[in-house]
Amino acid sequence: MQRKFITNLILLISLNLLIKPFWILGIDRSVQNLVGLETYGFYFVVFNFSFLFNILLDLGITNFNNRNIAQHRQLLNKHFSRIIVVRFMLAILYLIVTFTAALIYGFNAEQLYLLGWIAFNQFLLSLILYLRSNISGLLLLRTDSLISVLDRLLMILFCGVLLWGDVTSQAFRIEWFVYAQTAAYFITALIAFSIVMVKAEFKRIYWNWPFFVMILKQSLPFATLVLMMSFYNRIDPVLINKLLPDPVGEIQVGIYAQAFRLFDAANQIAFLFAVLLLPIFSNMIKNKKPVVHIVKLAFSLLFTISVTVALSSFFYASEIMSMLYPGANIESSRILSILMFGFIAVSGIYVFGTLLTANGSLKQLNIIAGSAIALNLLFNIILIPQIQAVGSAYASLSAQTISVILQALIVQRIFKFRMNFNFLLSLVAFAAGVTLAGYLTSSFAYNWIINLAIMLTISFLLAWILGLLSIKGFISIIKNKE
């Protein structure tokens, strides 16, 4: 299983590093620079609002299905032909609830129009994730890796034509950005649906009320978890816009979005680990195989990446933001530094939370997520009126840090991992060494990009020396047929 994890992780990260950085830093950043902070803030509020009730599109079925198919592959045909009906019914429920909430919140006609398209995109994206859960549940991880970047590749193509193809005489509009996403998601969903149809030997759809009730009962704990995770990850821009007067609210959301985009880019790399780990953990737990080695391997990789990214962003925040957003102010740099420290916590969540999900420890995860929401809301309400978007970044960091600490403690209690003090000492030494490297290189007289490159090189060498990145170990795992 370690060999499968490493080889597919290399493929998945390689594909995503080829496609997603260009999407986030090329296309998405260009759109924000073209339309301006206020217009993009308007879009970002609607976009994040559509996430608040996103769970109604799925009700935890995707995570339940991924774990279930990984453990019982023979159920694919039966479940797929029935679940696909359920998902279209849930889409109707999602639209009703989302638009009702938007009207209560006070969305105007322009916001409601944009919400309609974005909500449809959420349905398509949720459908793609469900289809991919069947593919990865069968451990067809290479196929899943290719599907995972297809939508972004198509978006780059469509948006690239609109941005730089000189196909229109009008200034770029934020609505075009949304339309391009719709087209890309629709094509990707069709391709993924075709693959699953073949694997499931799909013939026709079925409606079965007892099956519907059974699926909802089994997936409800997953649904509750995803709902709460969505709230404390996506509520920040909505609260910034609500708690601050116009136009300050939308401008602050735009500033927050600048830094959040880089956090989201890093987060997507960490999320790739969870995509691979959930079916692997589920399969190993079912077959009573020890998971300690793969947990240590995944955590070592993510800790190395996240600490390096976070400290690089701390020491070079203003230079990074000024390069990406000409005229960016000091607020966006502060927000970037804060959010990237949250990336360290999120990386741990993708290991420990995924292991607990695979183990079915959803009650504990839901309690943690509920506590994180309460903490996030409290800090947002207190801090946003005082320090605006920066306060929201602190609220996010607090919730994520508390979550990962509690998850790590529960994993230790359930799986009874032995305390490895040498490993913990290596982690502390690495963090201290990278901090020192960042402090020293940021004072060098070279161009900041050269200084950053030196810091990254030192970080990689330090991780290798401390045994957190073992090239020889990776090669032996890849060669191993087990």
427-462: pLDDT as tens digits: 999 999 999 999 999 988 889 999 999 999 999 999
Question: What's CA 59's distance to the chain center, in Å?
Answer: 18
**Average pLDDT over every residue of 68-74:** 64
Tokens in use for 414?
A: 């359930």
432 vs 420: CA distance, rounded Å: 19
User: Model confidence over 263-305: pLDDT tens digits?
Assistant: 888 887 777 777 777 777 887 888 888 888 888 888 888 899 9
395 vs 397: CA distance, rounded Å: 6
Of 83, 140, 481, which Cα lies nearest the Cα of 280?
140
Q: What is the pTM of this model?
A: 0.70
Question: What's CA 144's distance to the chain center, in Å?
Answer: 16
Residue 481: Cβ within 10 Å count:
5
Q: What is the pLDDT of residue 448?
A: 92
**Average pLDDT over every residue of 348-361:** 86
**CB of 234 within 8 A of CB of 241?**
no
User: Model confidence over 188-241: pLDDT tens digits?
Assistant: 999 988 888 877 666 666 666 776 677 666 666 656 666 666 666 678 888 898
Of 10, 3, 1, which Cα lies nearest the Cα of 273?
10
Q: What is the pLDDT of residue 385?
A: 92
HEC readout, the chain: CHHHHHHHHHHHHHHHHHHHHHHHHHHHHHHHHHHCHHHHHHHHHHHHHHHHCHHHHCCCHHHHHHHHHHHCHHHHHHHHHHHHHHHHHHHHHHHHHHHHHHHHHCCCHHHHHHHHHHHHHHHHHHHHHHHHHHHHHCCCHHHHHHHHHHHHHHHHHHHHHHHHCCCCCCCCCHHHHHHHHHHHHHHHHHHHHHHHHHHHCCCCCCCCHHHHHHHHHHHHHHHHHHHHHHHHHHHHHHHHHHHCCCCHHHHHHHHHHHHHHHHHHHHHHHHHHHHHHHHHHHHHHHCCCCCHHHHHHHHHHHHHHHHHHHHHHHHCHHHHHHHHCCCCCHHHHHHHHHHHHHHHHHHHHHHHHHHHHHHCCHHHHHHHHHHHHHHHHHHHHHHHHHHCHHHHHHHHHHHHHHHHHHHHHHHHHHHCCCCCHHHHHHHHHHHHHHHHHHHHHCCCCCCHHHHHHHHHHHHHHHHHHCCCCCHHHHHHHHHCCC
Of 393, 390, 362, which Cα lies nearest the Cα of 376?
393
Q: What is the pLDDT of residue 390?
A: 93
Q: What is the pLDDT of residue 438?
A: 94
Does the structure show a pLDDT above 80 at 79?
Answer: no
Work out the pLDDT band at 405, boundaries 50, 70, 90.
very high
151 vs 189: CA distance, rounded Å: 9
**CB of 125 within 8 A of CB of 165?**
no
Percent of the chain with pLDDT strictly greater than 90: 29
264 vs 259: CA distance, rounded Å: 9
